[in-house]
Amino acid sequence: MSDYTTPHRDSAAVVTVDAQRDYVEQDSPVKSAGCSSVVEPLGRLVQGMRERGAPVFHLVRFYWPDGSNVDLCRRQAVEEGMRVLMPGSQGAELVSGIAPDNAPRLDPHLLIEGQAQELGPRDRAIYKPRWGGFYGTCLDAELRRAGIDTLIIAGWNFATSGRATLLEASERDYRIVLVPDACASVTDEAQLELGRVGVHLKPVEQCLNWADGGRRENGGA
């Protein structure tokens, strides 16, 4: 691929998309088997990259009970009583193993006001009002401030939030890595399409090896 799209390991950050409990809890109306299947690899990716010094940004959603901040496709359901991603609820929290140890609970009021919340030395949460992580958020400003030019994207529901976040990142000239085995619902067709627009595909172990500079592949050299 072109040098313009080659990811830079020394200026990379992980971006998790919607990795919240309501998408995997048994009794949730938005539970997804695809999300449940990537909890473990997503946790390995986040923890592994965190140990290697990469910042981690967690994109999250909240739905007010009156539906006023909900996407149009779900607004009526929330207005009529569907309770998911409620601010302050357990279901709106990050799934176990994604946030750093001893992280505080998400602060929906701080986040909905547009501020990033510090969850640990390298972790921040950011609320996004719609599918994409850059729309109406402080994500771009936070990344630029940290000197980040490469995003490692993983998390839930690639067909909606994951894809939108990736395309918005591309529009802002970020170098992009998608981790397909730590991202729910990435089809083979989608992977082919992404390769054509300069996105690099790296499964979890390959991504961690890349972050190590390929040392494991090269016998520790």
Which residues in the chain show pLDDT less than 70?
Answer: 1-2, 214-221
Topology of the domain comprising 12-212: Rossmann fold (3.40.50)
Ordered by start, the domain boundaries in the chain are 12-212
pLDDT at 192: 86
For the stretch 172-211, pLDDT in tens is: 999 999 999 999 988 888 888 898 889 999 999 999 999 9
CB atoms within 10 A of CB 20: 30
DSSP string, 83-106: --S-TTSGGGSBPTTTSPTTPPPP
Structure tokens at 36: 């449940």
Structure tokens at 31: 């539970």
Cα 32 to Cα 24, 27, 68, 74, 92: the distances in Å are 6, 11, 24, 16, 15
Helices (H), the chain: 33-36, 39-51, 72-79, 108-112, 139-145, 163-171, 188-196, 204-211
